[in-house]
Amino acid sequence: MMTTKLLRETTGRAIGAFAIVILLHVIGTILIPGYSQPFAIRALLVLASLLAIACIGQTLVVILGGIDLSIPFVIGFANVVAAQLYGQQWNFAIVCLIVALIALLIGAFNGYVSRSLNIHPLIVTLGTGMVVQGAVLFWTAGFPSGSAPRAISDFVSIGGSAGPLPLPWVVPCVAVLAAIVALILARTPYGRRLYALGSNPGAAPLALINPVGMWAVTFAISALFSAATGVLLLGFTGSAYGDVGQPYLFQTIAAVVVGGAALIGGQGSYLGTIAGALVLTEINTLLIGLGFQPSAVQAALGVIIVALVSLYGRERHVSKTI
């Protein structure tokens, strides 16, 4: 469980990230006509919500002391498999169940192998992700097809409304999900064990914490929410695309770090991650609105990630661990 000092640091960084969100939005409003129009704000919130869902697992994994590079590959897998099976007239509930079960198995495999064999999760998750991507390409012969049901498209539609709220359904649902995740991290045995294992892996077994089980469960959760993101992106884009998750490869890590998590584990919060997701989405939107090409936007995000990791790598507790 986080100490009071670490809790203050994490909360302070989350507040700082939200302050950056406000600053970026003010800058965008001044520089770009229509930046603060209702439709533009809804679009920004939908994109940030999709990123926030993908970041749930990365947040948990980073607090645990790991990293999950299979997220974009699982997103692509779920996107293509859901589209293909639904296009073949499968019941969509059954499709989602199949995708979820396979994703859970992928994630559990990542966590189990990483911890039990003491292999860095960066290597395991990247290798597993490439295997998953190759299997999807082989199955579809490189030409995925299919679509999402209308309900999923409406759920993430920028023009949709959640009852009386002038926001798409995905936005308030992510807000509820954030509250649930925050409650789990703060008030449940799983949350306490997660922080304890991330803070002091060597001492965790002495507290009757099963490291292999925690890693398997946490990486399984990461893969599950990655798959959910892939299905939602299918509704958002309207078609299947195996590489749809590639932008999330480093954006999930960046959002977690911007939100105050330490890459060595034991520190972080999902509220901070949401702030980080908003920051990255604002930066993307702002740069595109200013006329930057996609390649320049990616380069800018890369610079931000390197700067943030370098900054946190200079902190005393990180440097001593490294």
pLDDT tens-digit profile of 193-217? 999 999 888 877 777 789 999 999 9
- Alpha-carbon distance 13 to 79, whole Å? 33
Give the pLDDT score at 8.
Answer: 63
Query: Contact at 8 Å (CB) between 214 and 194?
Result: yes
Q: Out of 45-59, 91-105, 114-128, 302-316, pick the least confident.
A: 302-316
Angstrom distance (rounded) from CA 202 to CA 117 = 16
In Å, the largest CA–CA distance within the chain is: 59
- What pLDDT score was predicted for residue 321? 38
This prediction has a pTM of 0.90
Tens of pLDDT, residues 9-60:
666 777 877 888 899 899 999 999 988 899 999 999 999 999 999 999 999 9
**Mean pLDDT to the nearest integer, 50-75:** 96
pLDDT band at 132 (very low <50, low <70, confident <90, very high): very high
User: What single-letter amino acid sits at 143?
Assistant: F
pLDDT digits (tens, 9 = 90+) for 232-250: 999 999 888 888 999 898 8
Domain segments of the chain as ranges: 4-314
| CATH number belonging to domain 4-314 | 1.10.3470
Question: Is the pLDDT assigned to residue 319 strictly greater than 90?
Answer: no
The first and second tokens of residue 12, run together, are 């302070």
pLDDT at position 234 is 94
Q: Enumerate residues 6+ apart whose C-beta is below 8 A from 25.
A: 35, 36, 282
